Amino acid sequence: MKRKLLVISTPLLVLMLGLVAVRPAQSFLPAVEVSGNTVNPDHWATTPVTWRLNPTLSAKVNMSQANARAVIQDSFFTWDGAPNTGPSLDVQGLDSSDTDPTTTLVNLICFVCSNGLNFSSGEGVLAVAVTTVDTSTGVISQGGIFFNPTPTSGVCFVILTSSSTCPVGSDLPQDLQTVATHEIGHFFGLDHSSVVRAVMFPFAPSIQTDLSFDDVAGISSLYPKPAQDVPTGTIQGTVKLNNTGVFGAHVFADSTTAANPYFAVGFVSIRKSPIGTLTLPDGTYSITGVPLDSYIVSAEPLNDPMRSANVGWAGSFGKTIDTGFTTRSH
C-alpha cells in the first residue's frame, strides 16, 4: 500500500509502500505526482543512489548478518542488472547505526526500525519502503526500506533456498530476498503492479526474486539505457464505458507466443509475464516497454485480488478508481 505519512515541507511529502504476506504462502506502474496537467513519475534524478545498511537483526530474521547483507546486495543487483535499464542504479555505502526512520538523513535499510512506521496498518505487513518526493517534479531525494521487526502475521525472514526455518515452529518462513526485491522496486519509484506474476504485485509469494517482463518495463521506463538490449514498443488506447473514459482500469498486454527475447541476449532469469498499466482519468492508457511480439490486450477492474486500496497511484489524481464494469471478449 502507498499512503502519505507526513508533509515535510512544501512541496515535499513522504510516501510509504509495503508488501503484505499471504497465508498460506502465495503492471508495472510508477508512483506519480500530478502537478496541474503534468504527470511526473517518481524517480531519482541521478544514479547511482547510495544506501546504507544497519546490520542489527531483529529476532524475526533467522540468518547471520553476513547473509542478510548479501541478500540485500543481491536484491539491489536484480534491479541494477535489468535489461534496457541504465547501469549503476545503486551503490552500498558504509554500515549505519541509525534506528530512527523519522530523523535519519541516509538512505537506510533497517531490520529493527519501527518509530513512526505504522506496520499495523494492514494485517501481515512485512516491510515498507519510504521515499521523500518533490510533488512538483516526482524527484526522490531520500528513501529507506524497513522490515517489520514484529510481524503480526507470525512470520520470520529466512533464506528459503537454503531450507531455513523459523526459530518458532508456528511462524511462517518468508523469503527475505523476495520481500527485499519488492521493496527496492518501491525505493526506485515503482508502485504496486496488478500483474500477478510481477515482483511488484502487492502480495508475497513463497519465492519470487527474478524480474518479470512487467517489472523490466517499469524500471527501464524510469531509468532507460540509451541503447536498448531488446527493442520494445508502446501499445496505446482508450477504455470507455457508455462513451465515457474509465479511470483505473487495469489494461495488460499478454503475449500470444512462447517467445522470450530477453533470453536471446543473455537475460535468462527474466520471467515472461503480461505487461500492464492503469488507465488515466480520461480512460487513455500507454503500455511502454513491450518487446516486439504478438499480444492480446485486455482490461479488467481492480476488484480482486488487487484492489484500488493496493494502489497509491490513484490518489495523486484526486479521483476514485472505477470498478463498475466487466470484461468480455470481442
Asked if the model's pLDDT at residue 290 lies above 80, the reply is: yes
Computed over every residue of the chain, the mean pLDDT equals 84
Asked if the model's pLDDT at residue 9 lies above 50, the reply is: no
pLDDT at 28: 57
Quote the percentage of the chain above a pLDDT of 70: 85
Position 121 confidence tier, pLDDT thresholds 50, 70, 90: low
Position 323 confidence tier, pLDDT thresholds 50, 70, 90: confident
Alpha-carbon span 138 to 64, nearest angstrom = 37
pLDDT at 82: 97
pLDDT at 64: 95
Position 79 confidence tier, pLDDT thresholds 50, 70, 90: very high
- Say if pTM beats, i.e. exceeds, 0.85: yes
pLDDT at 10: 24
Position 312 confidence tier, pLDDT thresholds 50, 70, 90: low
Which of 31-40, 185-194, 233-242, 262-271 bottoms out in mean pLDDT, i.e. has the lowest?
31-40
The set of cell numbers assigned to 235 is: 501499445
Count of CA atoms in the C-beta half-sphere (13 A) of 133: 30
Answer yes or no: are the C-beta atoms of 30 and 23 closer than 8 Å. no
| Coil/strand/helix, residue 311 | coil
Higher pLDDT, 191 or 213: 213
Quick: pLDDT tens for 231-273: 999 999 999 988 999 999 999 999 999 999 999 899 999 999 9
Please compute the mean of the pLDDT values over residues 292-303 and round it to a whole number.
92
Position 11 confidence tier, pLDDT thresholds 50, 70, 90: very low
Neighbours of 161 (CB within 10 A): 10
pLDDT at 32: 77
DSSP state of 271: B
Closest CA to 280 of 245, 325, 323: 245
Answer yes or no: are the C-beta atoms of 303 and 283 closer than 8 Å. no
The set of cell numbers assigned to 210 is: 527474478
The C-alpha angle 103, 109, 115, rounded to 5 degrees, equals 40
Asked if the model's pLDDT at residue 70 lies above 90, the reply is: yes
Give the torsion sign (CA, 217, 183, 206, 68).
Answer: positive
Identify whether 151 is preceded by a cis peptide bond (ω within 30 of 0): no
pLDDT at 123: 53
Answer yes or no: are the C-beta atoms of 290 and 296 closer than 8 Å. no
Alpha-carbon span 270 to 28, nearest angstrom = 14
Which of 41-50, 51-60, 112-121, 205-214 bottoms out in mean pLDDT, i.e. has the lowest?
112-121
Residue 209 CB partners (closer than 8 Å, separation 6+): 74, 75, 78, 175, 177, 178, 181, 199
3-state secondary structure 25-79: CCCCCECEEEECCEEEECEECCCCEEEEECCCCCCCECCCHHHHHHHHHHHHHHH
Alpha-carbon span 164 to 157, nearest angstrom = 9
pLDDT at 140: 94
Q: Where are the beta strands (DSSP E) in the chain?
A: 2-7, 12-21, 32-35, 38-41, 43-44, 49-53, 90-92, 108-110, 125-134, 139-147, 155-158, 172-175, 203-204, 232-238, 240-241, 244-245, 250-255, 275-278, 284-291, 295-300
